[in-house]
Structure 1
Amino acid sequence: MRAIDPATPGGPEVLEVVERPVPAPGAGEVLVRVAAAGVNRPDILQRLGGYPPPPGAPTIMGLEVAGEVVGVGAGVGAITVGQTVCALLAGGGYAEYAVAPEGQCLPVPASLTAVEAAAMPETLFTVWTNLFERAYATEGDTVLVHGGTSGIGTMAIGLCGLFGIGIIVTVGSPEKAHAARELGATHAIDYNAEDFVERVREITGGRGVAAVLDMVGGDYVGRNLQCLADDGRHVSIAVQRGAVATIPVFEVMRRRLTLTGSTLRPRDAAFKSLVADELSRTVWPHVEAGRLKPVIDRTFALEDAPDAHRRMEAGTHVGKIVLTM
C-alpha cells in the first residue's frame, strides 16, 4: 500500500509516499480502506522528531481516518465488513489501509462525507475529554478557547453551540475573528490587536470565565488564570509557547482555581473506547442529524502531504486540513 512513513525527522519534504505492507487486524481490531485522513498539529511535531509514536503504534503518520471496513480481527462483534467508519488512531492514518481498535470507531452517518468524517475523531475526542469532562463545562457557562479557528477551536465552537455554552476565542487576525464569529463563537478576540485578558474581563463584566482550554502554554498560563472566575478550571492540551510556566500559587489558593491537562495519544484503547461510547450517546445523535460538522479548510492528495503540512505551519487555515486517498 502507499503510505507516508518518514525515515528521518525534518521539514515537509520528508513526507514522501513509500510502499508498506497492508497491516493485518489483530484481536479486537478492524482493517479500514482509508478514504481520507485528518492532519493534526501532533503530526507536525512527529515529523520534526519531537513527538514519537507511543509503544506499539505504527511509525506511519496520522491520527484519524474514515473509510470502509475490509477486514476484522478475532472478537470484533459490532462492526462488520463493508461498514463505513471513522476512527481515532495512535498512528497509521496517512496510508491506503489502517488498523483501528473496534472501540475507537464510530459509524459514518449519511450527514457526513468521508472528508468530514475523517476530520472528526481527533478534535472531537480532545475537546470532549478536556473541555467537557476535565473542565466540567456545562450549559450557561462561558469558556475561553485559544486558537479559535484551528481544528480544536472550530470543534469547540460547534460543541459549545450545541450545549448552550458561551465561548470566547482568540485568533490572530481580523479575518479570523470574523470567521470565528460566523461559525458561532460568542466573541472573538484578535490577540495581535487587543489584550485578551482585558477583553475577557470586559466581556464577562469582571467575573471571568468558568474554564480555559489552552493549547499555548508558556507565558499564556499566568494570563489565562487572570481570565478565570473563582473556582475556574484551566486545562492544558499543548505547549506551543513553552512547557514551563510561572504560576501565582497563592492566587490559585485564594480563588480555588484548578489546573489540569491531558494528552490523548498515549492513553490506552480502553480509555479511548469509553470516550467513544460516551460520544456515541451524547454527541453522535447531533452529528447524525446534521447539527454538528467539522469545518474543512482544504483537502490535499496523499502525495501532496508536504503542502498540507506547510499550510498548517503557516497558520492561515480555518478548520481542518484533510488528506484524500
Structure 2
Amino acid sequence: MRAAVATGTGGPEVLSVGEVEAPSPAAGEVLIEVVATAVNRADTLQRQGFYPPPPGASETIGLECSGRVVGLGEGVTGWSVGDEVCALLAGGGYAELVAVPVGQVMPVPGGVSLIEAAGLPEVAATVWSNVFMTAHLAKGERFLVHGGAGGIGTMAIQLAAARGAEVFATAGSPAKLELCRSLGATHVIDYREDDFVEVLAEAGGADVILDNMGAKYLGRNVDALATGGRLVVIGMQGGAKGELDLSVLLRKRASVTATSLRARPVTEKAAICCGVVENVWPLVAAGAIRPIVETTMPLEDVARGHQLMEDGSHSGKIVLTL
C-alpha cells in the first residue's frame, strides 16, 4: 500500500511516499481505508527519532485518521464495512490502510466532512482526557491554554467555553489572537508583549492550565495558578527539565500532572474515546465546536506539511489527504 516513509531520522526532507506492507485486522481491530490524516507535533518528533511508537504499533507516522471501514477482525461488533469513521491511532495514519483497536474507532460527528474529521481525534482526545478527565475543569472556573491557535489550543478553547469556563489563551500574532477570541477565549494574551502570570493574577488565578511548553513555563505556570489550581503538562517544546518551587505549590494546595496519550493502554484509550463521543461530538454536531483546518494537502506533500508544522506560522490543523 502507499504510505509515508522515511529514509532515516532528520528534517522534513527525509519523508516521501513509498510502498509498505498493508496491515490486516487482528482480533478486536477494525481495518480502515484512510481518506485523510493530520500532522501533529508528535509526528515531527517521531521523524527526528525522539518519539518512537509504542511496542506493537505501526512504524508509519500518523496518530489520527478518517476513512471507511473495509475489514473487521475477529470479535468486532458495532461496525460494518462501509461505515464512515475517524480514529485515534498509536501510529500508521500516513497510509492507505490502518488497523485500529475497535475502542479507538469513533463515528464521524454530524455536520463534519471526512476531511475535517481527520483532524479531530487527537485534539479531542487530548483535551477531553486532560482538561476534563484529569483536571476536572468545571463550569465557571478560569482556564488557561498556551498556544491557543494551534490544533490542541483551538479545541481546548472551544470545548472549555462550551462547557461554561472562563477561557484565557496565549498566542503570538494579531491574527492568532483574533482566532482565539473568535473561538470563545474571553481573554487573549500576546506572549511576546504581555506576562500571562500578571494577567491571571489580576483575574484571581487559573483553576486549570493546559501547557505544551514544559520546563520553560513550569515555574510561571505554578505562579499563575489559583488556590487549588491544576496544571497539566502535555508537551516539552520548552524543554524537559525545570525547577519547581514546592513552597508555592504547597501554599496554593495546587497540583502538577504530566500526561501522554500515545502510550496509554488500549483500555484507557477506549474510555477516552467513549468520553469524546459522548461529550464532545454532540457539541461538534450542534456547531458549538468546529474543526479548525488551516490547510489540506496530498500525502505526497508530507514533507511540506511537517515543515509548516515546525515553522509555527499555521493555525489549527494541517490535514493530509489520500
The CA RMSD measured in Å over matched residues stands at 1.0
Distance 1:289 1:168 in 2: 23
Moved over 6 A (4+): none
Give the aligned partner of residue 99 of structure 1. 99
Structure 1 position 300, deviation (Å)? 1.1
Q: For this pair of structures, how many residues does the alignment match?
A: 322
Find the residue that maps to 2:214 and give its secondary structure. coil
Find the residue that maps to 2:30 and give its secondary structure. strand
Distance 1:219 1:45 in 2: 18
- The answer on whether the counterparts of 1:219 and 1:241 sit within 8 Å (CA) in structure 2 is yes
Select the residue among 193, 209, 214 that pairs with 1:212.
Answer: 209
- Superposed CA offset, 1:116-154 (max 9, x none): 111000011001111111111011111111011010000
Structure 1 position 265, deviation (Å)? 0.2
Give the aligned partner of residue 218 of structure 2. 221
Find the residue that maps to 1:263 and give its secondary structure. coil
Find the residue that maps to 1:290 and give its secondary structure. coil
- The answer on whether the counterparts of 1:218 and 1:244 sit within 8 Å (CA) in structure 2 is yes
Give the aligned partner of residue 196 of structure 1. 196
**Identical-pair percentage:** 48
TM-score (norm 2): 0.98
Distance 1:11 1:283 in 2: 35
Distance 1:144 1:168 in 2: 5
Structure 1 position 111, deviation (Å)? 0.6
- 2:41 counterpart letter in structure 1: R
- 2:279 counterpart letter in structure 1: T
Find the residue that maps to 1:154 and give its secondary structure. helix
**Which stretch of the first structure deviates more once superposed, 307-316 or 192-201?**
192-201
Give the aligned partner of residue 239 of structure 1. 236
- The answer on whether the counterparts of 1:236 and 1:262 sit within 8 Å (CA) in structure 2 is yes
Distance 2:321 2:160 in 1: 29
Which blocks of at least 5 consecutive residues in structure 2 are unaligned?
none
- 2:83 counterpart letter in structure 1: Q
- 2:68 counterpart letter in structure 1: E
Distance 2:143 2:288 in 1: 21
Distance 2:252 2:185 in 1: 27
- The answer on whether the counterparts of 2:109 and 2:282 sit within 8 Å (CA) in structure 1 is no
- The answer on whether the counterparts of 1:130 and 1:261 sit within 8 Å (CA) in structure 2 is no
Distance 1:219 1:278 in 2: 31
Find the residue that maps to 1:254 and give its secondary structure. helix
TM-score (norm 1): 0.97
Structure 1 position 109, deviation (Å)? 3.6
- The answer on whether the counterparts of 2:128 and 2:275 sit within 8 Å (CA) in structure 1 is no
Which blocks of at least 5 consecutive residues in structure 1 are unaligned?
none
- 2:215 counterpart letter in structure 1: G
Distance 1:259 1:21 in 2: 42
- Superposed CA offset, 1:247-298 (max 9, x none): 1111111110111120000001111111111222222222233332221111
- The answer on whether the counterparts of 2:70 and 2:81 sit within 8 Å (CA) in structure 1 is yes
Q: How does 1:52-71 map to 2 (within 5 A)?
A: 52-71=52-71
- The answer on whether the counterparts of 2:157 and 2:183 sit within 8 Å (CA) in structure 1 is yes
Distance 1:109 1:50 in 2: 33
Give the aligned partner of residue 257 of structure 2. 260
